């Protein structure tokens, strides 16, 4: 008889990643085995080798958990179904799927295939939602520092507002999309998106389609505006309406996108922070 293997990340959701997973037994008729995905004996290869035909996985965590899974298993083969039970903080992938933290598990097998890559500091990594560069990376950087000092939930919106008003300095960016070059001054954000959402509810690329048959990515640039004007427009990103401000927001689509800043900034890949980055290249 088929079995299910529940892989959880207890660090997800500000340390609440294990909450509610016992209730998963009510959703599956098969026997479930619960495993900490950060302490697998033999790693994923060891797990996959002992699984039988018809066995399946249930991933529990947030966007970072999904990102780690697809990268850690990129060189491995798994033919079974993969379910997802969102227990993270932002849960942007789940949000795009019309789900929220604690909702019933749902199938994600097809969404974890044929993902784009991002090259940062000479290293390639798959991404599921998007690559944030600019104040979005800055927010992750500050959030990580706060989390290291306290167990209190991190308010990324508050970090963004303070950054826009006082702390974050925009930079110039040279952008190359499928071989065509562009140049922008005072760039606040420059994310390349596979999905629509990031940052726990922001919609930087409202027209982006995860299942785009041409596999296009969307690059959104918020540029040229001063602090107060940026602060006035920025809240509209939570509804995806910032793109109406065409004077300050540009959306470019392509299959290979490079963004180069003129001074280093933090970058985030599905919520995971990389510091002191001068450029990145995303491609399908």
Among residues of the chain, what percentage have pLDDT more than 90?
A: 67
Same domain, 139 and 250: yes
Domain CATH number, residue 94? 3.40.50.10330
Strand bridging mode 3-8 / 31-36: parallel
Structure tokens at 177: 């999309």
Rounded to whole angstroms, what are the CA distances from 3 to 13, 55, 57, 103, 260? 26, 5, 9, 21, 47
Judgement on whether residues 128 and 223 belong to the same structural domain of the protein: yes
Print the domain residue range for 277: 117-283
Instruction: Tell me: do 153 and 277 sit in the same domain.
Output: yes
pLDDT of residue 223: 96
DSSP string for residues in 109-129: GGGGSS--EEEETTEEEE-SS
The answer to whether residues 99 and 137 belong to one domain is: no
| Whether 106 and 147 share a structural domain | no
Tens digit of pLDDT for each residue in 180-234?
Answer: 999 999 999 999 999 999 988 899 999 999 988 899 999 999 999 999 999 999 9
Burial of 174 from C-beta contacts in 10 A (0-12 / 13-18 / 19+): middle
Given pLDDT bands bounded at 50, 70 and 90, which one contains residue 42?
Answer: confident
CA triplet 85, 194, 44: central angle to 5 degrees? Answer: 45
**Which CATH number belongs to the domain containing residue 163 in this structure?**
2.60.200.40
> In whole angstroms, how large is the CA radius of gyration of the chain?
19
Q: Give tens-digit pLDDT for 223-245.
A: 999 999 999 999 999 999 999 99
């Amino acid at each position: 008889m088929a079995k299910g293997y529940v892989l959880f990340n207890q660090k997800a959701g500000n340390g609440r990643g294990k909450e509610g997973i016992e209730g998963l037994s009510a959703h599956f008729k098969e026997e479930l085995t619960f495993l900490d995905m950060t302490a697998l004996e033999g790693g994923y290869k060891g797990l996959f080798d002992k699984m039988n035909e018809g066995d399946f996985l249930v991933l529990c965590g947030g966007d970072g958990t999904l990102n780690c899974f697809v990268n850690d298993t990129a060189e491995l083969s798994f033919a079974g179904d993969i379910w997802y039970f969102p227990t993270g903080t932002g849960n942007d992938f789940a949000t795009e799927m019309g789900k929220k933290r604690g909702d019933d598990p749902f199938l994600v097998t097809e969404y974890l295939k044929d993902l784009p890559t991002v090259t940062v500091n000479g290293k390639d990594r798959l991404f599921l939602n998007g690559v944030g560069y600019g104040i979005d990376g800055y927010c992750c950087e500050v959030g990580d520092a706060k989390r290291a000092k306290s167990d209190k939930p991190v308010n990324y919106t508050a970090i963004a507002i303070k950054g826009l008003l006082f702390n974050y300095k925009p930079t110039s960016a040279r952008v190359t999309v499928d071989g065509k070059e562009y140049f922008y001054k005072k760039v606040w954000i420059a994310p390349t998106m596979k999905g629509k959402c990031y940052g726990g509810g922001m919609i930087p690329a409202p027209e982006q389609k995860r299942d785009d048959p041409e596999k296009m990515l969307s690059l959104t640039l918020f540029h040229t505006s001063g602090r107060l004007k940026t602060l006035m427009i920025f809240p509209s990103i939570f509804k995806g309406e910032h793109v109406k401000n065409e004077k300050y927001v540009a959306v470019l689509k392509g299959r290979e996108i490079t963004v180069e800043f003129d001074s280093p900034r933090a970058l985030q890949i599905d919520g995971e922070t990389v510091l002191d980055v001068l450029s990145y290249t995303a491609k399908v």
